[in-house]
Amino acid sequence: MKVLIIEDNPLNMELATDVLTASGYEVLQADNAEAGIALAQSESPALILLDLSLPGMDGLTAVTVLKREPGTTLIPVVALTAHAMKGDEEKALAAGCDAYLTKPIQALELPETVRKIIESGVPK
């Protein structure tokens, strides 16, 4: 099963990739929103892990685009945010994210969250 990670920080990308690969997922990587959206459209991943703080198009804008486009609207999006602030969680969910995780990435929490969300799917 494919999971797309959109993350500009190389260490976070490496950690998330290692953890999800070890859990049996095929990981696709993009270090910016535009490339991530293109990969989501061409590869139809089962889930997208989306850093909210990206150079160029930010994560909130990216999820708005993903949820607007018919080809990607049903792909669950999990926001990754460095800011453990309540306002960011609300903004992420309001923009269309299906869940969020606060950095630093937790090696046990990440695959568990991914698995649960893939199993439950996006509410239509």
What residues make contact with Mg ion under the rule CB under 5 A?
8, 51, 53
Query: What secondary structure does DSSP assign to 23-71, as a single string?
Result: TTPEEEEESSHHHHHHHHHHH--SEEEEES--SSS-HHHHHHHHHHSTT
Q: Which residue has the tokens 């090696």?
A: 107
For Mg ion, the nearest residue by Cβ is 53
User: In terms of CB distance, is 57 or 122 closer to Mg ion?
Assistant: 57
CB of 110 to Mg ion, least distance (A): 16
User: In terms of CB distance, is 8 or 34 closer to Mg ion?
Assistant: 8
CB atoms within 10 A of CB 102: 16
Side chain identity at residue 122, one-letter code: V
User: In terms of CB distance, is 11 or 74 closer to Mg ion?
Assistant: 11
Return d(Cα 64, Cα 19) in angstroms, integer.
Answer: 27
CB of 16 to Mg ion, least distance (A): 12
User: In terms of CB distance, is 27 or 79 closer to Mg ion?
Assistant: 79
CB of 9 to Mg ion, least distance (A): 5
